[in-house]
A and B are shown apart, each in its own frame.
Chain A
Amino acid sequence: MPDNWWVKTTLEVINKMQADGVIGQYAIGGAVGATLYLEPAATLDVDIFVTLPAIAGSSLLTLAPIYDYLRQHGGTVQHEHIIVGGWPIQFLPPGNDLEREAIAEAVETSVQGVPVRVMTAHHLVAIALRTGRAKDNARILQFIEQDAVDRGKLKNVLVRHGLTQRWQDFERRYLEGTRG
């Protein structure tokens, strides 16, 4: 194993944090999540979507317990990231039903024997479509070009979360003429 096996160390800390009850379910999204289905592409951070346990008597959701926990376990805060095991992590509480569903339905896999939950391909594509930055569009195209997403499941997610029109716009803009 390389000395700089940062992601493995990072994932062990995340799993421990879940076991200790600081976070609920989690799922890796973003470029690292997409790596489960696509070829690896350079990225500098890991996006982890997390559900947060409700705090009694409060309706506010805060990432403070995560930051406090990770600081106690050697993490350091740097802008919107917290560096754990050398790898910057961005923790993202779900902002909508699509992201909540993506966390709930994430698939289990492993990295060097460490169990980890990663979003499904169709949820990654749907979230990228909703986010809509240039790099998100590029990632969607990778999924389509490499036939790495189940189009039926994707369609269901898009319909359920009101993204059908956005998908049609995407198809018109980027995929027109590529279908037989």
Chain B
Amino acid sequence: MGNLEMRKQLASLSFTEKIEILEKLRDRSLAFGSAGFRDRNNDKQKSYCSCEDWEPCGCGNQPPYHCMWCCRELNSEQLDIARARGFYSGKREK
């Protein structure tokens, strides 16, 4: 999907859906603002996703697997659930 096409698709969402996305964008901005960008080579800095409505991110089928909302790594329990749902195994449920 092209950039303009994707923007049109996003623009056609309902106001409620768009506001929900704004909430998520704001959460992520605040998370980065308070904790800064994580140095992936520094384990002491590592923190896992704690979103109540966490979702596996579909931006890449390779580690580090992370939450699509906060971008923090999924913990082992979340990873198990994500894999059970077909993420990161090449056979995601539709």
Our verdict on whether A and B bind, yes or no, reads yes
Within 8 A of B (CB), among A59-95: 87
A39 close to B22 (CB less than 8 A): no
Asked if B80 lies at the interface with its beta carbon under 8 angstroms from chain A, I say no
Contacts of B7 in A (CB 8 A): 38-39, 146
Out of A8, A40, A44, A110, name the residue touching B18 (CB < 8 Å). A40
A76 to B4, CA, bound (A): 40
Asked if A36 lies at the interface with its beta carbon under 8 angstroms from chain B, I say yes
Number of A-B residue pairs with CB-CB distance less than 8 Å in the complex they form: 64
B26 close to A43 (CB less than 8 A): yes
Residue-wise interface mask of A (142-166) relative to B, using a CB-CB cutoff of 8 A (1 in contact, 0 not) = 0001101000000000000000000
A39 close to B11 (CB less than 8 A): yes
**B93 shortest CB reach to chain A, Å:** 22
Asked if B16 lies at the interface with its beta carbon under 8 angstroms from chain A, I say yes
Within 8 A of A (CB), among B10-49: 10-11, 13, 15-16, 18-23, 25-27, 29-30
**B52 shortest CB reach to chain A, Å:** 6
Contacts of B15 in A (CB 8 A): 35-36, 109-111, 118
By the criterion of a CB under 8 Å from any partner CB, how many residues of chain B are at the interface? 21
Complex: chain B residue closest to A147, CB-CB: B8
Asked if A2 lies at the interface with its beta carbon under 8 angstroms from chain B, I say yes
Asked if B53 lies at the interface with its beta carbon under 8 angstroms from chain A, I say yes
Complex: chain A residue closest to B27, CB-CB: A4
Contacts of A118 in B (CB 8 A): 15
Complex: chain A residue closest to B4, CB-CB: A145
**B22 shortest CB reach to chain A, Å:** 5
A39 close to B16 (CB less than 8 A): no
Out of B11, B16, B20, B26, name the residue touching A44 (CB < 8 Å). B26
B22 close to A146 (CB less than 8 A): no
A146 to B15, CA, bound (A): 16
- Given A38-B11, A39-B11, A146-B7: A110 and B25 within 8 A (CB)? no
A43 to B30, CA, bound (A): 11
A32 close to B16 (CB less than 8 A): no
Residues of B within 8 A of A (CB): 4, 7-8, 10-11, 13, 15-16, 18-23, 25-27, 29-30, 52-53
